[in-house]
Structures are given as structure tokens and as C-alpha cells.
Amino acid sequence: MVAGVCVGLAEYFGVDVNLVRLGFGIFSVFYGLGVLIYLIAWAILPEEDQDGSILGSFLHKFWSGF
């Protein structure tokens, strides 16, 4: 709901979005990795109407400065 990561992953894999959210919740509660995985996915996955990700655009701007 924050960045659309769960919805995007659910559409890509063809599963219910609630199952993806449940998976992130389980990883967050039991392993503490859910939030970290969510943030990494948010940075790597491109937005719906864009070609690149947040991380990709940042790296492109960073490397073009050299």
C-alpha cells in the first residue's frame, strides 16, 4: 500500500495481493527481513508507467556526473 510493491509482485506472479502482503508480514514478524526486502524491492522494481527503477535512475544520474 505504501509503494505498490505487493500489488506489482502479485500481478507479475498472478497471485492474490493479500498472499503477497501476508508473506511480507510473516517475514517481518518472524525473521525481521520483510521490511528490508520490501525496501529493496521498492528501489529495484520499476514503477508501473516507467522504464526504470528508482535505483536505476539514481545510479544513472550518479555515474553521468563523472
Query: What domain range includes position 44?
Result: 5-64
Mean pLDDT of the chain: 80
Determine the Cα–Cα distance for residues 64 and 14; give it in Å rounded to an integer. Answer: 37
Query: Which of 18, 17, 37 is closest to 28 using CA atoms?
Result: 37
Q: How many domains does the chain have?
A: 1
pLDDT band at 56 (very low <50, low <70, confident <90, very high): confident
Determine the Cα–Cα distance for residues 12 and 9; give it in Å rounded to an integer. Answer: 5
Question: For residue 44, what is the DSSP state?
Answer: H
Return the pLDDT at 44. 79
pTM for this model (two decimals): 0.63
Crossing angle of the two packed helices 5-13 and 17-26, in degrees rounded to 10: 120
